[in-house]
Amino acid sequence: NAGVTQTPKFQVLKTGQSMTLQCAQDMNHEYMSWYRQDPGMGLRLIHYSVGAGITDQGEVPNGYNVSRSTTEDFPLRLLSAAPSQTSVYFCASRTGQGSYNEQFFGPGTRLTVL
C-alpha cells in the first residue's frame, strides 16, 4: 500500500490565485481530514469527511472548500489564496468511527502565498 499520498510537495501561489491540493489513500479508510500547520505551531483541523459524499468543517474552514466523491480522494481547494494561508498542509485518513483506530498522515504540501 502507498498509504496516504499528497501532491504537490511544494507550491508557490500569488495572492488571489486558486489551486487544489490533492490527497489520496489506498487503505479504503472512511475518515479523511485536512490539517494546516503554521511554523512552530500544532495541527489545526480544516475540514474532514466521514465517507464519500459527506464533509464537515473543522476548526479553521474559512477560505477552503472540500468534496469527497470517492472513498480514495479528498481534495482541498483554495478559492482565492491569501498570504495567511501560507502553511504546511497535511492530509490524514483512518478507518471507521471507532476511537480505537489510529490516523495515517501524508507527507504534507508546503504552500507559500506571495
Partner 1 sequence: DAKTTQPNSMESNEEEPVHLPCNHSTISGTDYIHWYRQLPSQGPEYVIHGLTSNVNNRMASLAIAEDRKSSTLILHRATLRDAAVYYCNGMGGGADGLTFGKGTHLIIQP
CA-based max dimension of the chain: 41
Extract the C-alpha cell encoding 93. Answer: 485518513
Nearer CB in complex with partner 1: 83/96? 96
- Reduce the DSSP state of residue 47 to 3 states and report it: strand
The bridge status of strand 87-94 relative to strand 109-113 is antiparallel
- Reduce the DSSP state of residue 84 to 3 states and report it: helix
87 binds partner 1 (CB under 8 A): no
Pairwise CA distance, residues 70 & 112, whole Å: 28
91-110 binders of partner 1 (CB under 8 A) = 92, 97, 99-108
2 binds partner 1 (CB under 8 A): no
Binding flags for partner 1, 33-72, as an x/- string (CB under 8 A): x-x-----xxxxx--x-x-----xxxx-------------
Binding site for partner 1 (CB under 8 A): 4, 31, 33, 35, 41-45, 48, 50, 56-59, 90, 92, 97, 99-108
